[in-house]
Copies of this chain bind each other. A is one copy, B any other.
Amino acid sequence: MPTDTPPRGFPVEEFETRVDKAQAAMLAGQMDAIVLSMPQNFRYFSGFNSQFWESPTRPFFLVVPREGAPIAAVPSIGGPGMETTWVSDIRTWPAPCPEDDGVSLLDGILSGLPRRFGRVGWEMGRESIIRMPIVDFDRLRRQVDGIEFVDASPLIWGLRMVKSEREINKVREACRIGSDTFDLFLGRINYGDTEVEMARDFRKTAFECGADNAPFVSVCSGQGGYSQVIVGPQETAQTDGQIMFIDTGLQFDAYFCDFDRNFAFGHIDDAARRAHEAVWNATQAGIDAARPGITAEDLWAAQNRVLEAAGAVSGNNVGRSGHGLGMHLTEPPSNMPGETTVLRPGMVMTVEPGMEYLPGKMIVHEENLVITEDGCELLTRRAAREMPVISA
């Protein structure tokens, strides 16, 4: 473990800044409050960091009013943990309580807020979910007199997209951990192991390298290339002619890295070698293009030009070539046609070109970077230009 690990958590001023920005955006968006229920959004404004979201039993709510301090409405099990955060207005209900899991409590809070616009923002839109039973949400929506529930997801993602220095430090550490893990893992790969065994060894290595958690270790493979990147590991042995893809989202203090590497076993076909070269070059074109002022579509186009020049004809099933990154493995914006979001300093992005070079055979490659004042900083340790070949 390196000694320059960034501190965990955030000082109060970080949360105050986030709330200030959210309140300014609420005024512009004519909302009297926003309600956060998604783990990452709840954490963004409160600092409450828990793995307990694995349990679907109890919802948690944070109300950020247009003026004043946030109000937490949490099940009793969350009360003492909330007290360790900067949030001081904490209201709990005895939970689980199937008849009324926070609905009346939240109704009371929302009904009691100063009302100027009569609108409350929720996580209703793109890349958002409402983490409560929808029958309860519907009930609340009917029951809270004279308040319209509106979509606050553009407001929330607009804030979360641009990371603070402290957040960038956490993603940088996650990327350091991921880079060290891939380097160490390369020397440990057992020829002939299955995807399942590879994933397990990769995770062991990640914890040696300082990961807090390894929620996402996708291992997929196929003869001369793989057909998909999200269902795996399976029990396929890595022997001669296999190409194995490992995509990983490792966490440091709840912030993710998200990048992948490719490995050949025994030998590598020319077609796969050329495809890897093309996605490596496309990644480089993305890194070279990444700067403030261009759009996420531009970042896609920079990569796509290289892929087209290399003979890619069909696109691929991923549907985009990278995305935002932070407390979620994938965040807005998407690098794809039609995505007009302008890149700004502090945005952490993945560059992720994929190429289907034969029917059912694809190679995907990925690096992570942060947009700076005049370009970008690569956060991952750049992959070798040549795909490593593991011998028997």
B200 contacts A48, C-beta separation under 8 Å: no
B128 contacts A84, C-beta separation under 8 Å: no
Q: A129 is contacted by which of B75, B122, B130, B249 (Cβ under 8 Å)?
A: B130
Secondary structure at chain A's binding surface: helix, strand, loop or mixed?
loop
Distance in Å: Cβ of A97 to nearest Cβ of chain B: 8
- Note all chain B residues with C-beta closer than 8 A to A126: 98, 133
Q: Which of A272-330 contact B (CB under 8 A)?
A: 317-320, 323, 328-330
Judge whether A11 is part of the interface by a CB distance below 8 angstroms. no
A330 contacts B55, C-beta separation under 8 Å: yes
Per-residue contact bits, chain A 163-204, to B (CB 8 Å; 1 contact, 0 not): 000000000000000000000000000000000100110011
Judge whether A146 is part of the interface by a CB distance below 8 angstroms. no
Q: Which residue of B lies closest to A202 (CB)?
A: B207
Given A50-B231, A55-B330, A217-B51, are A75 and B319 neighbors across the interface (CB < 8 Å)?
Answer: yes
- Note all chain B residues with C-beta closer than 8 A to A373: none
Distance in Å: Cβ of A317 to nearest Cβ of chain B: 4
- Note all chain B residues with C-beta closer than 8 A to A75: 319
**Cα of A212 to Cα of B127 in the assembled complex, Å:** 27
Judge whether A88 is part of the interface by a CB distance below 8 angstroms. no
**Cα of A323 to Cα of B228 in the assembled complex, Å:** 36
A52 contacts B213, C-beta separation under 8 Å: no
Q: Which residue of B lies closest to A132 (CB)?
A: B129
B133 contacts A80, C-beta separation under 8 Å: no
Q: A77 is contacted by which of B48, B81, B131, B319 (Cβ under 8 Å)?
A: B319
Q: Which of A327-356 contact B (CB under 8 A)?
A: 328-330, 334, 336
Given A127-B56, A129-B56, are A227 and B135 neighbors across the interface (CB < 8 Å)?
Answer: no
Judge whether A6 is part of the interface by a CB distance below 8 angstroms. no
For chain A, give the interface size range: 35 or more
Q: A319 is contacted by which of B50, B96, B214, B317 (Cβ under 8 Å)?
A: B96
B76 contacts A317, C-beta separation under 8 Å: yes
Q: Which of A217-266 contact B (CB under 8 A)?
A: 217-218, 227-231, 234-235, 249
- Note all chain B residues with C-beta closer than 8 A to A130: 129, 134
Judge whether A158 is part of the interface by a CB distance below 8 angstroms. no
- Note all chain B residues with C-beta closer than 8 A to A52: 216, 218, 230-231
Distance in Å: Cβ of A136 to nearest Cβ of chain B: 8
- Note all chain B residues with C-beta closer than 8 A to A80: 227-228, 231, 317, 360
Given A75-B319, A76-B319, A80-B227, are A215 and B213 neighbors across the interface (CB < 8 Å)?
Answer: yes
Q: Which of A151, A211, A214 has the most CB of B within 10 A?
A: A214
B129 contacts A95, C-beta separation under 8 Å: no
- Note all chain B residues with C-beta closer than 8 A to A79: 228, 317
26 A-B contact pairs sorted by A residue (CB < 8 Å)? A8-B196, A8-B234, A8-B235, A48-B231, A51-B216, A51-B230, A55-B329, A57-B323, A57-B334, A77-B318, A78-B230, A79-B317, A80-B227, A80-B317, A80-B360, A81-B230, A84-B231, A96-B334, A124-B134, A129-B131, A133-B153, A134-B134, A200-B210, A203-B213, A204-B204, A213-B217
The 6 closest A-B pairs by CB, nearest first: A81-B231, A80-B228, A52-B230, A55-B330, A54-B329, A76-B317
